[in-house]
Amino acid sequence: MKIICSWCRREGKAGFIGEKAPLHDLRETHSICKVHQLNVQAQLRNGTRVLERS
């Protein structure tokens, strides 16, 4: 399965993080990349908005 950052995807980027078993399964599963994870954590610490509506 392909692991995709849903935050990157929302920004129009490919967002490919990696793969996980079963490798022959080409469906996508979603996670969050390190860059966006750190950004969200910083926003939570600062009390700013994490989710912005488009």
Does residue 42 form part of some domain?
yes
The arrangement of strands across the sheet holding 2-5 comes to 16-19, 2-5, 28-31
Number of domains in the chain: 1
Residue 54, domain member (yes or no): no
Residue 33 lies in a domain: yes
Residue 51 located in a structural domain: no
**pLDDT reported for residue 33:** 96
Q: Is the pTM of this model over 0.85?
A: no
pLDDT of residue 30: 95
CB-side neighbour CA atoms (13 Å) of 33: 16
Domain that holds residue 39: 2-46
Q: What pLDDT is recorded for position 8? A: 96
Assigned domain for 16 exists: yes
Q: What pLDDT score does 48 carry?
A: 74
Q: Is residue 12 part of a domain?
A: yes
Residue 52 counted as domain residue: no
Beta bridge partners of 4: 16, 30
Domain contains 9: yes
**Residue ranges in the chain modelled with pLDDT below 70:** 50-54
User: What is the reported pLDDT for 54?
Assistant: 47
